[in-house]
Amino acid sequence: MIAIIDYGMGNLRSVEKALQRVGAEVHIITRPEEAAGAEALVLPGVGAFGQAMDRLREAGMDALVKSWVADDRPFLGICLGLQLLFSESEEFGPVQGLGIVPGRVVRFAGPAYEPHDGEPGLKVPHIGWNQIEVVRPHPVTADLPKGAMTYFVHSFYVVPDDSEWTALTSDHGVEFTAAVARGNLFASQFHPEKSGQVGLLMLTNFVRLVRERSGR
């Protein structure tokens, strides 16, 4: 069973349906004790970093995520669920994050996003399909086609202190980390549940990882 954390800031149903489509048994949880018996944990999310951290702490979900990842149990973070893993965010901050991945969350900013020579500059938030590049293989990215595209909706991006965390990159005026991975943890800035066949492939790979980890 895969548990999806509900802390009031995620598009839970689309994530739930996508995982079910690739054959997973899924439950949405609102309290840490409801994760008992789960084989994997999913942290989705959209919205403000600080508010999300407050809600995770209020529900005791911050401790659950930290202990889960520390035990190297299968974990999937999506969009804000990636950013929350980091040490801090500059969004209305700095605001302290979970501190699982050393690094910061920063806003797209600079000349590329400003009007110049009659051109409007790149838009922030970054919304739409972008190509991703594999820089460090992981079971979740197995068999990704060359030139794979995924769907993004974000104004901030993550900057790990250690580049070894970066599994995928993309580009929106600056090359940025599109996903991090280590052990049984995988977290993406893009939305795999909204990324068509490429996203379903990664979710299928995640479910396979969960089953292999649990010996099924």
Q: Per the residue annotation, which of 16, 39, 88, 193 is the catalytic one?
A: 193
Q: Per the residue annotation, which of 126, 138, 172, 191 is the catalytic one?
A: 191
Contact 169, 135 (CB under 8 A): yes
Q: For CA atoms 101, 107, 110, 112, give the dihedral sign.
A: positive
The verdict on whether 79 is a catalytic residue reads: yes
Q: Per the residue annotation, which of 79, 91, 138, 154 is the catalytic one?
A: 79
Q: How far apart are CA 40 and CA 15, in angstroms?
A: 14
Residues sharing a CB contact under 8 Å with residue 78, sequence separation 6 or more, in sequence order: 10, 15, 42, 43, 44, 45, 187, 188, 191, 192, 193
The verdict on whether 191 is a catalytic residue reads: yes
Catalytic residues, by residue number, are: 79, 191, 193
